[in-house]
A and B are shown apart, each in its own frame.
Chain A
Amino acid sequence: MPLEGDIAQRKTTFKQIGTRPIRPDGVDKVTGRARFGADASAPGMLIGKVLRSPHAHARIRKINTAKAEALAGVKAVVTRDDFKDRNDALRDVLVNCMARDKALYDGHAVAAVAATTAAIADKALKLIVVDYEVLPHVTDVDEAMKPGAPILDKTMFTNNVEPKPTKPSNVASRCEFALGDIKAGFAKADVVVERSFKTEATHQGYIEPHACLANLGPDGQGEIWVCTQGHYMIRNTCADLLGLDISKLRVTASEIGGGFGGKTTVFIEPVALALSRKSGRPVKMVMTRNEVFRATGPTSSTSMRIKVGTTRDGRITAAEADLRYQGGAFPGSPVELGAMTAFACYDLENVKAVGYDVITNRPKQAAYRAPGAPMAAFAVESVIDELAKKIRMDPVDFRLKNAAKQGTKSAYGPTFGPIGLIQTLEAIKAHPNYRAPLGPNQGRGLASGFWFNFAGQTCTTLNVNLDGTVALAVGTPDIGGSRASMCLMAAEELGIGYEQVRTIVADTSSLGYNDVTDGSRVTFASGLATIMAAREVIKKMCARAAKTWGISADAVTWEDGQAKPAGSNAGNFKPMSFKEIAAASHSTGGPLAGHHEINADGAGVSFATHLCDVEVDPETGYTRVLRYTIAQDAGKAIHPSYVEGQFQGGAAQGIGWALNEEYIYGKDGRLQNAGFLDYRIPVASDCPMIDTIIVEVANPKHPYGVRGVGETSIVPPMGAIANAVSAAIGVRMLELPMSPPRIVHALDSRLKKAAD
């Protein structure tokens, strides 16, 4: 979308943008007052709990709930029979919330109860008798693709392959993105590296389990309080699944204790509403950590083959990727995004990326920070690193020589506008950490990464109060400090103090539809809508001043937070401040408010380069991250502290993904490590300080130049760390996580090979 009208009015000098004020929700969060998903309660509230399948794959012959219903204190039991079956796009969502004919993974919801206490609800779950016919299961992506694998869905035939398959399979679809002629490209290469990689599934690992408090009356009017990245999504999905009018369901987003993409869909919310409707009482549901791991969405595990060729002087001639991502028991793995992003960092003539979306007996994957991109980037950046070594070229220089830049046509379609990849590479090269001396068993690695960033449907309302303060309502849950950024942008536009703006996340009945907080879109899109709403207020304020002065509205301009006559011709009036116009509003036409609604576009792609030093204990395979440096293009950092925080948080998640995090399944298809003890996210002593460099290449489609920053930071870490580990031990690591047993195994295998 071209920048038109007011959006084109771009700012490049700022009074408040780029400062680091204290976030508006800060005091509540350091005093324990902030209310998260599980912190709400209601009079007469029941506790809801879910019965989950212990089997990876089983036909559900019968569910007998009679004994549970008869237990004193049990007020409602729901099963598949309480949700109307459907055949549209929401069917998978529904089936994931409550199993129908089959349990498709360990942890799949089979029934739910609401009771007066948690203990009674737990007891009731044990009284529900489910008659299962256990079926063969498959959890590994390569196994699931083999002929003869247990088929999860006999009606599924692979999409996008010609001729259309005649047999059902676990491959939901194939996708392809290509440019040029890879055969000809590889023919021109002097050096070709081809490698196969595997990555295990990882979970977003937000510390707050899913929680909600639902209240739905027999009149079809309801409310739900929920920790989610998208309360409008909750409203629309739940209303649809329960057959309610959208307007009758009011959703309030609680404070949210992390999401990273994992809270962009429904799990317990429709169930809580159904229990509430059936019992006639408010129902609170809070997942246990075990349930979070077993039944909410991790990201895909993958199997990949990457082939890249280069000339001896470092120009990549062709690149090819085969990506196989399993997305759990339903189609929809982010393999397409993986295929689109795999080579986006490079300016290539000949490139081809093919993806396969595979289903297995695992929980339905959910978005996880730049979904699909990190795995492909790990594989591609490993091969790039190996190529650089083979042609004896500095890895930064090799990337610089092939880096995507303004005008590069990407394999997934668009031609890039102004982008900052080269700047991130140069910043890393100039950083002292790039030259820090390395000791024995230490290695250095770097990798770049790309993410699209999304924009989407957004609206905000900005109300001016009589005292000259501003109430800003946004519809995008604040997951990492975005209210501070909104306050900054409104204050910057209006020329008032940061403290004069209060931003809230409005409920679904108070503000129009907003897409989910995802795709790193909030600071861009809600920020854009906030700026536009502020500009509308300014326009109105100029008109009010004009009215006061008895001159034409065109003859008033806005400068430094004041309305002024546009020139001496307009008349000689004392400028009116924001505060004065606000105070007089009741006598100049009533309340002052600005509103903006937009289906935003142009979020601005972003790139990052990460540099990492590790030390590996060659006897135990234990890896310590010594130094970590990030350079990422933020377009324009509104609140630099929270931009740095996004960079650092992504890196830490990447450290976990690279070294220790993984879903471990037993032979029985059950998840072995459904807790924080054995699903090993990095702890404070696993991480070094994480140095950040904010690169600012303005996004032309945002008035301040903002790009999304939240997701890109998890794309490069696995490649950077794998390259560092491989350098430290002298063996190329091809699987994630690079856990100690895998590293020791790789070292021992090399010794064995050398001995043979």
Chain B
Amino acid sequence: MSGHHVTTTINGDSVEFVCEPQESLLDVLRNHLGLTGAKEGCGTGDCGACSIELDGRLVCSCLVLGAEAEGRKIRTIEGMAKGDKLHPLQKKFLEHAALQCGICTPGFLVAARALLERTPNPTETQVRYWLAGNLCRCTGYDKIVRAVLATAVEMKQEKRHAA
């Protein structure tokens, strides 16, 4: 088996790694790069716990090969807070108790950020369908959906404030 040497950008940092051709990007993030925020719940793209952004698209990192990452831009949960400043979604998830066990939380946050960056004023239905690929077994989704909707309202207010 030949290792692939890959240079990519993760959360703004240039990163190099060597991976085997069959290793997924999730394997690489977790096992080679120590970025264990993305979780493996299924390995088949059915649970969304490994959600990341690849060149601006929300994807399951378990369905991307590590070798495919060459020259791409990757955003993971680890880059969501800026220093000690949490992203508004992270804050709202905490305030709304939108997590119980927390294993699905990084995936939900990454997915929800992708939603709000495209659709700043989503309806409840839009939130639910956008997040349908993120499984949560603890919360019944109620508080997650509320947290996302509340974040949208707050971000809109902040934007207005800043303008």
A binding-site residues for B, Cβ under 8 Å: 20, 22-23, 25-27, 29-36, 38-39, 41, 118-119, 204-209, 255-260, 286, 288-289, 479-481, 639, 641-642, 644-646, 648-653, 675-677, 681-685, 687, 689-690
- Chain B stretch 63-105: residues in CB contact (< 8 A) with chain A: 76-78, 80-81, 86, 90, 93-97, 99-105
Known: A289-B41, A645-B139. A258 touches B103 (CB 8 A): yes
Residue picked from B93, B103, B132, B133, most chain A C-beta under 10 Å: B103
B33 to A: closest C-beta gap in Å? 12
- Where chain B touches its partner, the secondary structure class is loop
B47 touches A685 (CB 8 A): no
* Nearest CB of chain B from residue A282's CB, rounded to whole Å: 14
Closest to B46 in A: A676
A257, B144: Cβ atoms closer than 8 Å:
no
A572 to chain B, nearest CB (A): 46
Interface pairs A-B: 9 shortest CB-CB: A32-B37, A257-B103, A652-B140, A29-B102, A648-B140, A641-B97, A676-B46, A32-B77, A480-B100
Q: Which residues of B have CB within 8 Å of A645?
A: 97, 100, 138-140, 143
Contact partner, A22, options B44, B95, B134, B139, Cβ 8 Å: B95
Q: Are A209 and B40 also in contact (CB < 8 A) when A649-B137, A684-B134, A685-B129 are?
A: yes
Query: A255 — which chain B residues lie within 8 A by C-beta?
Result: 101-103
Chain B residues, Cβ within 8 Å of A23: 94, 97
Is B36 an interface residue, CB under 8 A from the partner? yes
The residues of B that contact A30 with a CB separation of less than 8 Å are 86, 90, 93-94, 99, 105-106, 109
Q: Using Cβ atoms and an 8 Å threshold, which residues of chain A touch B80?
A: 31-32
A25 touches B102 (CB 8 A): yes
What B residues does A675 contact at CB under 8 A? 42, 44, 46
Whether B105 and A208, one on each chain, are in contact in the complex, defined by CB atoms closer than 8 angstroms, is no
Taking a contact as CB atoms under 8 Å apart, the answer to whether B86 and A207 are in contact is no
Given the complex, which residues of B lie within 8 Å of A689, measured CB to CB?
Answer: 124, 142, 145-146
Q: What size tier do the contact residues of chain B reach?
A: 35 or more
User: Given contacts A649-B100, A687-B140, could you give 16 more A-B pairs where the C-beta distance is less than 8 Å?
Assistant: A26-B93, A30-B109, A31-B90, A32-B37, A209-B40, A257-B101, A258-B100, A289-B46, A648-B140, A652-B140, A652-B141, A675-B46, A683-B135, A684-B136, A687-B141, A687-B142
Q: Helix, strand, loop or mixed for chain A's interface?
A: loop
* Chain B residues, Cβ within 8 Å of A22: 94-95
| Inter-chain contacts of B39 with A (CB < 8 A) | 36, 38, 207-208, 257
Contact of A26 among B38, B41, B94, B106 (CB under 8 A): B94
CB pair A207 B137 closer than 8 Å: yes
- Using an 8 Å CB-CB cutoff, how does the interface string of B109-146 with A read, 1 for contact, 0 for none? 10000000000000011011101111111111111111
- Residue B49 interfacial (CB < 8 Å): yes
Q: Are B1 and A119 in contact (CB under 8 A)?
A: yes
Chain A CB within 8 A of B22 CB: yes
Residues of A within 8 A of B106 (CB): 30, 32
Name the residue on B nearest A687 (C-beta): B141
Q: Which residue of A lies closest to B146 (CB)?
A: A689
CB distance A119 to B144 under 8 Å?
no
* Interface residue from B47, B78, B99, B124 paired with A676 (Cβ < 8 Å): B47
Residues of A within 8 A of B55 (CB): none
